[in-house]
Structures are given as C-alpha cells and as structure tokens.
Chains A and B, each alone.
Chain A
C-alpha cells in the first residue's frame, strides 16, 4: 500500500481552477427546481401558525374544490403511509427521550411551522392558494420557549409522554475535577448564550419524487447533502424496500448542515407520489424555510477554568444546555457532543469535565450548522482565556503562549481523552501576529484611548482547534451514533485511457470534482481533464456516507487515494507480465511503470487499462478490467487549527461596530487545492462574523419567529465585511497518508470569539466585560450605558449588564 504517496505532484497543491464552475456559475447546471416531468403535480404544506396547539379538526374540503387541486390530506389521512416516524440517528444516551416525529402532525402542533396538512395541485400557485384554504381548528396551548423555563418545575411539556422537557444529560469527566478546582489559585467562571441561527443556504430545499410504477420503484430527487443516509432512513420511515428507493442529489446550492437531514417534506413527497402514482414536486419558499429547515446553535454555556497564579491552566469545566427544539431531527442530540472534547482548546490541562443537557422547547428543531458543536466549544475557551488574561492583567497573547500544547508531529493524547493528530499552534500565531501588525495596532488603540476618541479600537484573538473528518466508525459507535464514518471511492479506468471516479461524498459547492480529479490525475498519471467524477446518485454510487463535518477530503479523498493504490497494484502485475520482468524490477512514477535500469522499457496506466480490457494476455488468475473500489474507515479524526486576529472599531455613541481588519492563519495540513481552501476560509469567516455581529433568530413569547425573513434576520453582505488577509501553516495530519485535515468549517469556528473578544477589548476600559452574540449596535450601546450606570429598559435577552459574565464565582477556589 501507499505506493503512490511519493509520486510526482503535478496538480495536487497547485492553483487549479474549479472545473465544475462554468456550469454552476452560468446557470447550466441542474438544480432541484430545474427538474420537471410530464404530469408532475405540486405539493404545498399547511403549517401551524401556533407554536403549541391541539389540532381539533382539519377540514380540507374547501381546498379540495379549488381549481387544479388533486388532493388534500390531513395528518390523519396520511398516517397509514408511515411505518415509523422521521429518524433520529444519534441517541446520545441510553435513556434519551426520543419523541415520535410524524412527517405531518396528527394530534398536536409543537412548533410554528409544524406541518399539519398537505395539498397537491397542478401548479405551484394553485398549491399555494390551496394551502390557504385548508381550515384547521386549533386550541392553542401554553408554550415553552426559554430552555431554563422549560426545565423548571411544572413547565408546560412539549411531549406529554415524557416526565419533563429534559431530553438527555450527557457527561464526560477526566481527572479529579473538583480537587483541581478547589485547590486552584484562580478560577474564572462565565456564562455565554450562543444564539439560535438560521442556516440560509442560497438554494432553498426542494424535492421531486418520480414513481416508476411497473418496477415498483421510486426515484427521489432532493436538494440534500446526504443521499445515501436519506435512502436508508427514509425506506424505514416509509416502510419501503430499500432497494426500491433511489435517491439523487442533483447539483445542490449550499447546505451548511441544513441539508444534512431527513425532512418531513422528503417523506411526504414519496408518500404522496406513492399514493397518486404521479410525479410530485415541492420547492421550499424562503419564508417557509425559516420555519421548517433546521436551525443551529441555541446553547447556554457555563464555562469555568482553574489556573495557577501565572495563568497556567489546571482544569476546565463546561456545563451546557442545548435547545433541541420541538423534535429530534437526524443528529440533533449529538451536535453538542461534537464539541464535547474540545473545551480545553489548544491548551494543556489535567482535569476536564463536560456536561450537556438537551432540552425540548416549542421551537424549530436544531441540528448541524457549519461547525456544529465546535464553534460553541471554541467560543467558550477563547472567551474565557481572555477573561483569565484580564483577571491576571496579562496580554491575551501571553496567556495563550503560556498554555499552548508544544508542537508535535505524532498523535498525542490530550486531557479530554482524544488523540490530536498533529499541531503547531505557536507557528500559526506568530505568522498571524506579524501579518496583523499587532504592536502597531496596540499603539493605535492606546492613542484612541488616550484622546477619548468616540471611535474606539479593539483587538481580538482566537487560537482555535477543531475536530473533523467524521469519523472512525468504532468511535462513532461508542458515542451511540447509528451509522459508520467510512467513505468509499471507485476508480474505473476506461480502455481509451480516460477515468471515471465514483465517490460516496456528495458535494454541494465544495469542489470535489476538481479536488478528486487532481488526486487521480497525479496518482495515475492521467490528464486532469480526462477524469470524470460522479456523485450524488445512490444507483451510480451505492456506497457512501455523504458530505458534512469537513469529512470529504480526509475520508472520501483518502478512499480515492487507496483506490488508486489498488489500481496501481493490479496494473503493476499486468505491466510486469507484459514487460516480462518481475514486479520488484518495476518502478512507478506519475502513471508510468518502467524497468529499473532500463527506463525505455515501460508501460503507462492507460496502456495497461487497454490490455486489461482486451484481456488477451493477462497473468494467470487476473480478472479482466481495471477498476477498483476502496472503502476507507479513518483511524482518527483530524484536528485543524490556526490563529485568527480581528480589529473592530466601535462607535461609542451609537454602538455601531465594524470589523476593520481580519487576519486568518489556518493550518489544515497538506493542501490539495489552495484556491478552494481560500474560498472555504473566506466564506467561513464571513459566516462567523455574521454569527458574532449580525444574525440571531428571535422568538416572541408566543413562539412566533420574529426574524422571519431576510429583511429582519440579518445575513450580512460583502458591504459589511473587510477584505480578509489569509495565510497558512502546514502541519501534516498523521491520520491519513495525504496528511490532509479539513477546512470547511474552520472560519466559522474561529471567527466568533475573535470578533467578540475584539469588541470587549475595545469596551473594557469603560467597564464592559461581557456581551452575548450578536454584538449588534443596540447591544453595544446598551452595554456602554449600563457600564456608565445609565438604566436601559429590559428587552429580554438583549440586556447585557456589565460584569454579569465575570460574576459570582470568579474568586479563587469558588464553589460554583
């Protein structure tokens, strides 16, 4: 194995342009809404306007009589379609409460947006009209919106069948945590609220179901990240033989985790297609997506560190409450667990404790959103490191350097029990500080402080780590995840020398077609243009675990690398046979087998592909054809890291805060395509700044989503963002032979604490030590007023009293 690792790299690491982009950017690529079929009907979903209500009656008669309407169904009408509820594949504890989640609610609606009826019409507009003509009689019930209230005695229950709204409690404890905290010189404890976020992929969700009745087969087209997972789980929900269901993800316009799911509308469209025997289509409206596509984050974190008097960390204790929403979607309970092992960040310590309580509320279910668990952990660690530095009157850079894990090139175990693959945290910080001009920025900050400028400057640091490359299947099993973490690749060498790659990953903007072509072109010595990459169709690519969690390159890409190895191994046998030498006498480089000492005697992989196809002269026992499949199960996660530095300017009169400068030095190991890495970093930082400063899903007391459109839910644009300065260090991963880590989520993980730390750094001289995200102008304004002792009327979560974070338990040996 690993015969190709040293082969000449012509494409890998180079600035290759994305080969899929001309199609994607000019509108020629086929997305879900481009799919149309003869006789196709449109599905419309009637959704509960109430966050919690008993459904008394659903009267579809008025809707059914509208022009073009073919059918209208209540939840009860469709109940016989389901063999089971929608799947939750990550029951994180043995005693977790998993409510039955029917695709269409039958007795109660449990969040505003819960489907309560389905209409089917000849046109999209007719379906939209028909949804308004379904008469549903509700009895509104009390709602629970706030997690802490939901856990209180006598709280209204989201699910009557359970004794409380506590879904699960998950623990991890390493070392004698109490002892470490009781004997520490310094303890800092803070409370952070991580706001609820709406993913906003540029392409809304959509589904087309095509029944193929003579074969009893159904083709489900869906704008999904996970066609393979969808096929298996939906077959169970629908009571359909899995071999009769084929799932196709056409080109997909972004996901950020929101399309890593199995949704009601996917089940509904197959059920309706099955019932009517006609193709049906549903395309999500943006305002509908705000209610019915999963949300992200919504986590309360109590974060605590124990340190010696120099600031050297001894222990970490994190206690989370995570909002599940009204139901458990595919991996809802597991999201906080993806961060559970990272609450010491890139720092050493001896004792480690993590607890998370999952909580049901009458809100849209949460699930994976870019970063998933790791932004929460990174935010908690990087915020509290700044607070520790402030408490000890040290520079935040100094406190980080003091605590960094030393550079390492072999996997090493850390306090939480994980084994980090490789790391050099000093290197990326040094590079970032230089690019940022740290000392000059500090000098400028001091000038503004001294002159009492209304525009103050703040500097924030985030030296982050994350874990990705999901995942070793055994580890997933030990965490009670229902599936494996492997992925698969097939390489098919055609007799003409061209190559088809079949991948189990499911790109939705990442550029796998390009990166996979680079790997195969280098390893098999074929032209980049001659590699075709097929993906996203369970009939073409039967083996796969899809794309999420920055896993595609470090799992699917490695499967491809090993498949190339298998091709070369077989080709070498044939080449040796044809050249009449032993295999040991052959050298391989860049697609050419040559005889050692006689380089003119050689064969290319393309030539061998042809002779393998003709099969006229193969060695004894060799199968004709040159094709190989490899399924790779990674031995470990990968752990990308880096240093992000941010400068913000705060208008202290209005609260307006803007990012003035942003430097990111990321380490994702070896790089296959620098332009793709750069794109991921830019998009990730933008999304992280959005989280830190702009976006928050806000509900009113009745559970109605107030930020229900892009006009009020503030996704920033390029106009709000500075030009990012990016650079890299490269510490190869020890988890895989290409030494690659992952970069899809790094920016989103790193940026929020850098931005908030910068904002607090600007305001600290005014006595503001804590704010929750997003640090919107109003929040900043209110924090300044509070610090000056001016009253601000309470506005729920918007109140950010100065010092409330550096609160009660920050005394040495505090017993919080």
Chain B
C-alpha cells in the first residue's frame, strides 16, 4: 500500500494544468478526487512519474442551467451533484446516481470528471452519461472539442481522451420523461455488480448497462424491442444480448446476465411510471 515514488505538481488554473500536461506528456496523470487513481497507485498497479493535481481548480466545480442542457463542471464532487436542485429538477437521474457512488467520504472527494475520465466499466456515472447521450467538453493547449458519450468509452480504463487533454465540462439534457438507475450491489460502498440506467426522453427510451462489458454499454436489444412496441417486461428479456460481463467473487457472468434482465425490467417500469 506504499506507492512508487512520483513527482507532484499542483495546477493553479486550467491553463496551468494544460501546460503541465504538455510538459510531462504520457508520464503524467491528472489527480482530481483521487478515489480511483490513488488506490491503484498504492497497489502499484499504476505508477505515473508525475501527478498533476487539478483538485483545487474550483472554477470547474459548478452545476448550471445552460438553456437546453445542464452544464456540470468536471471537478464537481458527487455530493454536490447529489444535492443539486438544478439537476434534481431537470435531470434527476444524475443527482440520484451520484448519491449511489461509494460512501459519503468518497462522494465528498470523488468528482464526476474523474469518474468519467477513469473509464471504469463498473462505475455508475459513465453508464448514466451513455443513456443520456451526454456531451463532454475537452480542452487541450491547442483548443477545445466536444465528444459524445457514445464515442468516448473505448475499453477497460480507456477513453477518447489524449494524454494532454483536460475534461472540463459534462453536458446533460433536460429530460422530458421518467428515469431510473438500478444499482445492484452487495454492500452500500461497493461498485455495482450490475447497474441499469433507463431514461425516457423525447418520446424514446434509452437503456444502458454498468459492468456488463469492458465498457459501459447501451442495451441495444432492449431499445429495439421497445421501439417496436414491446412492453417493459418483454423488452427486458433482451438485456443480456451482446454483453460480456466479468466473472469475479461478486458474481459469475451468468448471474450478471440474469440480473441485467431483472434490473432492466425494474428500471423500465420505474422510468415509465414516473
């Protein structure tokens, strides 16, 4: 539990963070709340030569009503997202799910940007972002770009972010319909064994799955069944289609596939009844 030695740099501003990223390149990792990165470093599964601490960039901690969308600063901690009135009113699934992450200590330090950039398929918020078709605002010293959640998660702990990129903002829609996030976990503080996000928006339904593959994934079979008129219970039976869940001491792949179906049914029923 003693990390390998590393250099530590503290960024004073987004520009400073980008400058440090340019200087250290692939040697560096950004440190936000540290609740994913530091445990990996303590187990020496990650050994970055430089840590660039962006934890004090308070200008990236906000939740704003931005017209058609809600803008969330990447360094907003889970606890603030859980308590955000703007999110509760317009996109309640994000506030609710942030409240399901870890425990109070984790939620006061862990950030939405850190969770998304880490690319852990067992994390809850990436799944919700995928179901919401969220947009991620990314900066580099050369300028900015916006990435769609659907093109963002590329593999286990891999995303579309380049080593010199800084995720600055997350944009989610104002939902027109109901939603549900069903997190199935043995202990409150655990990652999801399986999670299912369902949202109704603009007359359609989107369903996304946590920990059913090496990336968060949309349950395409379920969505197609619903689009062609199936009821929730029938559509939910398609939830395990094309999934490749892990087998570990928390659950076999077989168990996870069955859970995905049960939880999808429950998520759809809750989303459709609200």
Contact = CB atoms under 8 A, between A and B. Distances in A.
Partners in one complex: yes
B5 A125 contact: yes
Contacts of A793: 252, 254
Nearest to A657: B186
Interface in B215-249: 247-249
B156 interface: no
A714 B193 CA distance: 13
Contacts of B5: 125, 129
A615 interface: no
Contacts of A654: 184, 259, 262-263
A709 B188 CA distance: 17
B1 A286 contact: yes
Contacts of B262: 653-654
A204 to B, nearest CB: 9
Contacts of A782: 255
Interface in A257-316: 285-288
A409 interface: no
Interface stretch (A165-173, A318-326, A526-534, A773-781): A773-781
A657 to B, nearest CB: 10
B46 interface: no
Contacts of B184: 654, 656, 777
Most chain B beta carbons < 10 A, residue from A132, A287, A781: A781
Contacts of A716: 187
A614 interface: no
B4 A129 contact: yes
Interface in A710-739: 711-712, 714, 716-717, 719-720
Contacts of B39: 711
B49 interface: no
Contacts, number: 66
A157 B160 CA distance: 51
Contacts of B103: 717, 719
Contact of B189 (A286, A719, A777, A798): A719
Nearest to A131: B2
A659 to B, nearest CB: 13
A717 B249 contact: no
A714 B2 CA distance: 22
Contacts of A613: none
Contacts of A132: 44
Most chain A beta carbons < 10 A, residue from B43, B184, B193, B249: B249
Interface in A94-143: 124-125, 128-129, 132
Contacts of B4: 129
Most chain B beta carbons < 10 A, residue from A696, A716, A777: A777
Interface class of chain A by DSSP: loop
Nearest to B251: A778
A719 B2 contact: no
Given A124-B2, A125-B5, A717-B103, A712 B249 contact: yes
Contact of B187 (A287, A694, A781, A798): A694
B258 interface: yes
A130 to B, nearest CB: 11
A792 interface: yes
A788 B187 CA distance: 27
Interface class of chain B by DSSP: loop
Contacts of A653: 262
A698 interface: yes
A719 B189 CA distance: 9
A792 B254 contact: yes
B8 interface: no
B249 A707 contact: yes
A712 B246 CA distance: 14
Interface string A787-816: 000001101001000000000000000000
Contacts of B2: 124-125, 128, 285
B157 interface: no
Contacts of A714: 186-187, 190
B1 A285 contact: yes
Nearest to A284: B1
Contacts of B189: 717, 719
Most chain B beta carbons < 10 A, residue from A288, A694, A717, A778: A778
A777 B259 CA distance: 11
B53 to A, nearest CB: 19
Given A694-B186, A717-B188, A717-B189, A781 B1 contact: no
Contacts of A124: 2
Contacts of B190: 711, 714
Nearest to A286: B1
Nearest to B256: A778
Interface string A745-778: 0000000000000000000000000000000111
A706 interface: yes
A287 B254 contact: no
Most chain A beta carbons < 10 A, residue from B186, B247, B251: B186
Contacts of B249: 696, 698, 706-707, 712
A712 B254 contact: no
Nearest to A782: B255
Given A285-B2, A287-B43, A776 B252 contact: no
Interface in A667-720: 694, 696, 698, 706-707, 709, 711-712, 714, 716-717, 719-720
A295 to B, nearest CB: 16
A47 to B, nearest CB: 14
A711 B1 CA distance: 14
Nearest to A653: B262
A720 B43 contact: no
Contacts of B191: 711
A777 to B, nearest CB: 6
Contacts of A129: 4-5
A781 B252 CA distance: 11
A776 B1 contact: no
Nearest to B263: A654
A452 to B, nearest CB: 16
B250 A712 contact: yes
A698 B247 CA distance: 13
Given A654-B184, A720-B188, A777-B186, A795 B252 contact: yes
A125 B4 CA distance: 8
A54 to B, nearest CB: 26
A709 B42 CA distance: 12
Nearest to A697: B249
A111 B188 CA distance: 33
A219 B258 CA distance: 58
A778 B248 contact: no
Nearest to A132: B44
A778 B1 contact: no
Contacts of A792: 254
A11 B261 CA distance: 60
A781 B43 contact: no
Contact of A719 (B187, B247, B258): B187
Interface in B159-218: 184, 186-191, 193
Interface in A593-635: none
Contacts of B252: 778, 793, 795, 798
Contacts of B247: 795
Contacts of A286: 1
9 smallest beta-carbon distances between A and B, as pairs: A719-B188, A128-B2, A285-B1, A653-B262, A778-B255, A778-B251, A698-B249, A793-B254, A795-B252
Interface of B: 1-2, 4-5, 39, 43-44, 103, 184, 186-191, 193, 247-252, 254-255, 258-259, 262-263
7 contacts: A653-B262, A654-B184, A694-B187, A711-B39, A777-B193, A778-B250, A793-B252
Interface of A: 124-125, 128-129, 132, 285-288, 653-654, 656, 694, 696, 698, 706-707, 709, 711-712, 714, 716-717, 719-720, 776-778, 781-782, 792-793, 795, 798
Given A129-B5, A287-B43, A711-B190, 14 more contacts: A285-B2, A287-B1, A656-B186, A694-B187, A706-B249, A714-B186, A717-B188, A776-B186, A778-B250, A778-B255, A781-B258, A793-B254, A795-B247, A798-B252
